[in-house]
Structure 1
Amino acid sequence: MHLSKLILFTCFLFYLDIATGQQIKIIAESNENTSIRALSCAGKNVVWATGSNGQIAKTLDGGRHWEWITVKDFANRDFRSIYAINANEAIIAAVGEPAVILKTNDGGKEWKIVWQNNTPGMFLDALFFTNAKHGWVVGDPIHNQQPFLAFTNNGGNNWQIKTDNIPILLKGEAFFAASNSNLFVWKDQFEPWMITGGTASVLYTPVKAYPLPLLQGNATEGANSMDCYKHTCIVVGGNFMHDTIAKGNAVVIETKPHIQLIVPKQLPNGYRSCVKHIKNNTWICCGTSGVDISNDNGMHWKKISSASFHTIAVSQNNNIFLAGNKGRIAQLNLK
């Protein structure tokens, strides 16, 4: 592959509107009209990003300098999923047909196709890895209204399609490839949890399905993102065509002693495409109409910015990165 351009940012470009106590600063922008839908941190300082136009971005120093890469022969593809193993190794998945998963072992110079499927209707939505070896990929239903699921046990070099214990979705029920976060796998479990939207919005666990109290019924509504920490999971979504509607856009899931679905007392301020745990009881979510934070495990949310972002990643040392349209990557400083 070739490097289409190198853009090294040695200074922060500008600050976005913020609430008192938080600072969101843009630290990178692509010259391409690129929509970034996935971020992944490896350790403290390595962050990879991916999106449309075959674009990949990478920083090795916690966001001070960024390298922009166009994946050779894939300049017209939309990569909405990424998992960063380290500074040299990363795995990406392209939506649409043919569905492909690629891996690099040399920092993005060369990318190898490790899995490909030409089945009409294939659409890969998200990747999730519990460690450098074990990961999953999920895609929209293609046969008998069953989602596509495949897993790897060797760092993404080979993939095996899951054929048993696959739920049957309603017609029009699928996944949103909004932020690479509709899939979650607990480290002590093998099979994933999944959230859907559209005709219905449901949490699927390996044991049981739980209808979610979110906006649903239309193609633009439902759950978009899920993250979990200890005994708490938070799901966010809403209606991305009406992104300022602050209802039916979040649910807190307590997993112990049994699964309970709890509607927050104060919801996020609009449609939200991504949610991430930061530390302790603090969580963050973002969407096209702003960024919210919760300091009580998702029961109350406060808007801290009106800036538009699609996805979030949190590094090992709790640095918070956000990304969205026009190749824009930002860092959030919580004071």
Structure 2
Amino acid sequence: MRAKGITRRTLSAGLAGAALAAAVLTAPAQAAQPADRGGHGAPGWRLKDTGTDARFRGLAAVSRSTAWVAGSRGTVLRTTDGGRGWRNVSPPGASDLEFRDVEAFDARRAVVLAIGEGEASRIYRTEDGGASWTESFRNPDPKAFYDCVTFFDSRHGLAMSDPVDGKYRILSTGDGGRSWRVLPSAGMPAAQPGEAGFAASGQCLVSSGPRDVWLATGGGATARVLHSADRGLTWRAAESTIPAGDPARGVFGLAFRGGAGLAVGGDYRAGEPSPRAAAVTRDGGRSWRQSATPPPAYRSGVAWLPYGRSAALAVGPTGTDLTTDGGRTWRTVDTGSYDTVDCTPDLGCWAAGEKGRVARLER
């Protein structure tokens, strides 16, 4: 828990965060940056050489120096030196799995989620920086397909599955991911026909504070955001303004800071238009309004910049967009391909995506 009140340290961090947002905003939109070799250039993403071509849709930023990524072929990497070096800490025997989410508590403790039907959906946990892993959950139900995982703190967390028997299924842990149980479905509203979550960025299930959690949907007649204020026991659904009505369209990523929330999405198919690809809420997700100037294309990941009240980044295969007015308007600031983004209180912002791409935001 952070102490309340404004200290000199947090004030300095806030000013640095504002400066970072301003630097990115004033930089011209640019293609992928070369790998970081210690030099200085225009502010923006600096690619870090991961030594793999795995696609990383799972990302957990711990600090400016430490981050975890999880992706295809059961690949999990960890850096503790700002991305200069990466250690392959993939769980043994996981090469046939697709990791789509990772939640890390520090440089040693992390939880990763593998997606898929039936037993392909699994959760692994490490307490020693990935030197060893324990499989803590293997889905026994062939009708379930788990998409995302989130934690409220180092002990309490949830994972979500696409609808089973007409309702989203929620797993709960109270011991840091060592064990999991399925929550009762009585408090979950019915899913729409064809509705599901998108395991595209690890952001279809996100939490903020000790009890609030949100679930993003698509594929149904409308793209919705479901909210629970009691750690997943009861939920209320709200329609977003992001178009759905097709299995490829809907809300793909969420970010919340208290009651202020951002939703991004669109149509993930290459070349398909994605109008109204972003939405905002100021009441904790009870109501949503369309961004006046949304990103120009599909976006799968979104994150608030640290300490700022209104700056955030959204990423997708065709670029990165910045908002400095709380999601009302967005501007493209980079054209490199990323699937997910995450930021930390010490001004560490990371992005990850296809072909082993991992980058850190630098000025």
TM-score (norm. length: structure 1): 0.89
Superposed displacement of residue 61, structure 1: 1.9
Cα distance per residue 1:30-87 (max 9 Å; x no partner): 33x4110011122442211100101011011222221123321111110111111221
1:8 matched residue in structure 2: none
2:85 matched residue in structure 1: 65
2:314 matched residue in structure 1: 285
Amino acid at match of 2:154: A
- Correspondent of 1:181 among 193, 197, 203: 203
Normalized per residue, the structure richer in helix is 2
1:196 matched residue in structure 2: 217
Where structure 1 has 5 or more consecutive residues not aligned to the other structure, the ranges are 1-11
Superposed displacement of residue 261, structure 1: 1.6
- Correspondent of 2:328 among 262, 284, 299: 299
Cα contact 1:13–1:28 (8 A) shared by 2: no
Q: Which moved more, 1:238-247 or 1:176-185?
A: 238-247
User: Secondary structure of the equivalent of 1:53?
Assistant: helix
1:50 matched residue in structure 2: 70
2:298 matched residue in structure 1: 271
Superposed displacement of residue 188, structure 1: 4.0
2:340 matched residue in structure 1: 311
Structure 1 residues 330, 236: closer, same or farther in 2, change over 3 A?
same
Cα contact 2:50–2:85 (8 A) shared by 1: no
For residues 211 and 329 of structure 2, the distance between their equivalents in structure 1, rounded to whole angstroms, comes to 30
Amino acid at match of 1:37: R
2:44 matched residue in structure 1: 23
For residues 64 and 311 of structure 2, the distance between their equivalents in structure 1, rounded to whole angstroms, comes to 19
For residues 259 and 271 of structure 2, the distance between their equivalents in structure 1, rounded to whole angstroms, comes to 29
- Correspondent of 2:103 among 83, 100, 117: 83
- Once the two structures are superposed, the pairs formed by residues 219-258 of structure 1 within 5 Å of their partners are 219-242=247-270, 245-255=273-283
Cα distance per residue 1:170-211 (max 9 Å; x no partner): 121000000001112231425x22110012311112352111
Cα contact 2:242–2:290 (8 A) shared by 1: no
Where structure 2 has 5 or more consecutive residues not aligned to the other structure, the ranges are 1-32, 229-234
For residues 211 and 88 of structure 2, the distance between their equivalents in structure 1, rounded to whole angstroms, comes to 36
Cα distance per residue 1:92-137 (max 9 Å; x no partner): 1110131211111121121111111231132211111121111110
For residues 70 and 202 of structure 1, the distance between their equivalents in structure 2, rounded to whole angstroms, comes to 34
Structure 1 residues 30, 219: closer, same or farther in 2, change over 3 A?
farther
Cα contact 1:29–1:326 (8 A) shared by 2: no
Cα contact 2:239–2:287 (8 A) shared by 1: no
TM-score (norm. length: structure 2): 0.82
Structure 1 residues 66, 45: closer, same or farther in 2, change over 3 A?
same
Amino acid at match of 1:137: A
Aligned residues: 315
User: Secondary structure of the equivalent of 1:174?
Assistant: coil
Normalized per residue, the structure richer in strand is 1
Q: CA RMSD in A?
A: 1.9
- Correspondent of 2:242 among 214, 225, 233: 214
